[in-house]
Amino acid sequence: KEFDNIDLHSSLKKYFGFSQFKGLQEEVIKNVLRQNNTFVIMPTGGGKSLCYQLPALMQEGTAIIVSPLIALMKNQVDAIRGVSSENGIAHVLNSSLNKGEIKQVKQDITNGVTKLLYVAPESLTKEENVEFLRSVTISFVAVDEAHCISEWGHDFRPEYRNLKSIVERLGDNIPIIGLTATATPKVQEDIIKNLGIGGATLFKASFNRPNLFYEVRTKTENIEADIIRFVKQNSGKSGIIYCLSRKKVEELAQVLQVNGVSAVPYHAGFDAKTRSKYQDMFLMEDVDVVVATIAFGMGIDKPDVRFVIHHDIPKSIESYYQETGRAGRDGGEGHCLAYYSYKDIEKLEKFMSGKPVAEQEIGNALLQEVVAYAETSMSRRKFMLHYFGEEFDEVNGEGADMDDNTRNPKEKEEAKDGVEK
C-alpha cells in the first residue's frame, strides 16, 4: 500500500486538525500502514488512539478496535464522527444495540463506509459476530488497553485472552496492533505471548516525568498535622489527596475544612450528582483540594494539579505512577508525596487474604516493589523507571535531582550526624 509523508500529514490535518504528530505516532502509523504487527507502549495521554485511528481512516476495509469500556468506545466514536460527514464511519458493536441498529452497522461495514468498528471482547467472541466479520474486509485489529490480557496488569479481563484465536478466524494474516500504558516487562511479555505478536515492532515512549518531584515520608500519628502544613504551604494550588478508605476520605476532608483548607471529599459511595458536584468544584477551582479514593481521577484532565499526596501507600508502583501522573500535566511543578508505614503494607496484605492464591501471590509481589520503592535510598525516579524496564541516568537524566533521596542523600546525613557527635 502506497503512502508518503504528505499523505500522512494531510490526513492528520484533515481528520484531526493537528499539524504535527506527537512523539512516536508517525513511526507507529507508518508501521501499521505497512501491514506489520505493532506493539505500542506510551504513557496515558501520549496519544495512542491516533496510532490506529489514522491508519484505519486511510486504509480500505474496517479496522476492529477492541476496548474494555463502553464509555471509552462511545467517546471515541463520537469524536471520529465529528470529523466526517459520514455517520457510519465509526460504530460500536455491542449487546445494547437493537435489531435495526445491528442491521445498519452491518450494512455500513459491508458497503465499506465503516473504517472503525469498536467492540468489547465479549462481543467479538460471539459466534454470530465472528461469522459476519469473516465475510468482510478487515484492515487490522487494534487491541487497546492490551494490559487487560495480563494477570500482572491492574485490570485483568479473562475475555481478553481469547482474542488471538478469534483474529485468526477472521482472515489470513490480519495485522494486530497492541496498545497499552503499562510498561512493566512482565505485562509486556504476557501481551506479546497472548496476542502471538512476537515479531511485532515495539514502539515504547519514555515514562519519565521530569517535572514531578517524588518524596516519601514516614507515616506517624502526626500525619494529619503534616498534611495540613503541606497544604497550607501550597495554598491556592490545586492538589489531590488519595486515601484508601471512604471513611478516611470523609474524615480527612473534614479535618482540612475545620483547619481552613478548602477541600471536598470524593468517593464512589456518593451518588452521581454529589460526585459530579464535588468534581466540578475542584475543576472550576472553587476548592483547592480534593480528598479522594482511587475512584477519582480516571479521565480527569486538570492540567495544573500541583501536588498529589498519598495518605496511604498504593498497592503497586503502577498505580502510584498513574495516580501521581495527574500532577503537572502542563509541564509545571508537581509534588508527589507518599506517606509510608509498614503497618499499611500489612493491611493491604490482609485485604488480599480472601482472594485466590494465584492472585494473592501476584498482589504480594507487586506490594513488595512498593515497599522497596518506599524504603530505597536511591533516586526514586531511577527506581520507578527501572521498574518499567527503562534505564535512567541519575546524574544527567532529565529531572535527575527531583526526588527527596537525591536532594538529601541519606548517607550524608548520617555522616554529618557522626561528625557532630
Q: Contact residues for ligand ADP (CB under 6 A)?
A: 18, 20-22, 25, 42, 44-50
- Among Mg ion, ligand ADP, none, residue 222 binds (CB under 5-8 Å by kind): none
Q: How far apart are CA 352 and CA 346, in angstroms?
A: 10
Q: How far is the CB of 45 from ligand ADP (least distance, A)?
A: 5
Q: How far is the CB of 74 from ligand ADP (least distance, A)?
A: 14
Indicate the residue among 121 and 397 with the shorter CB distance to Mg ion: 121
Indicate the residue among 54 and 402 with the shorter CB distance to ligand ADP: 54
- Closest alpha carbon to 288 in 275, 297, 278: 278
Indicate the residue among 21 and 373 with the shorter CB distance to Mg ion: 21
Indicate the residue among 65 and 166 with the shorter CB distance to Mg ion: 65
Please answer whether residues 46 and 84 qualify as being in contact, where contact means their C-beta atoms are separated by less than 8 angstroms.
Answer: no
Residues of the shown chain interacting with Mg ion in the complex, contacts defined by CB under 5 A: 48
Q: How far is the CB of 185 from ligand ADP (least distance, A)?
A: 20
Please answer whether residues 160 and 121 qualify as being in contact, where contact means their C-beta atoms are separated by less than 8 angstroms.
Answer: yes
Q: How far is the CB of 54 from ligand ADP (least distance, A)?
A: 9
Extract the C-alpha cell encoding 346: 500489612
Helix, strand, coil percent content, the chain, rounded in steps of 5: 45, 15, 40
- Among ligand ADP, Mg ion, none, residue 50 binds (CB under 5-8 Å by kind): ligand ADP
- Closest alpha carbon to 40 in 163, 162, 197, 208: 197
Pairing of strands 38-41, 201-204: parallel
Q: How far is the CB of 421 from ligand ADP (least distance, A)?
A: 52
Q: How far apart are CA 98 and CA 78, in angstroms?
A: 19
- Among Mg ion, ligand ADP, none, residue 314 binds (CB under 5-8 Å by kind): none
Q: Which residues contact 166 (CB under 8 A, 6 or more apart)?
A: 124, 125, 130
Extract the C-alpha cell encoding 231: 497544604
Q: How far is the CB of 401 from ligand ADP (least distance, A)?
A: 28
Indicate the residue among 68 and 399 with the shorter CB distance to Mg ion: 68
With CB atoms as reference, the residue minimizing the distance to Mg ion is: 48
Please answer whether residues 40 and 28 qualify as being in contact, where contact means their C-beta atoms are separated by less than 8 angstroms.
Answer: yes
Indicate the residue among 48 and 380 with the shorter CB distance to ligand ADP: 48
- Among Mg ion, ligand ADP, none, residue 213 binds (CB under 5-8 Å by kind): none
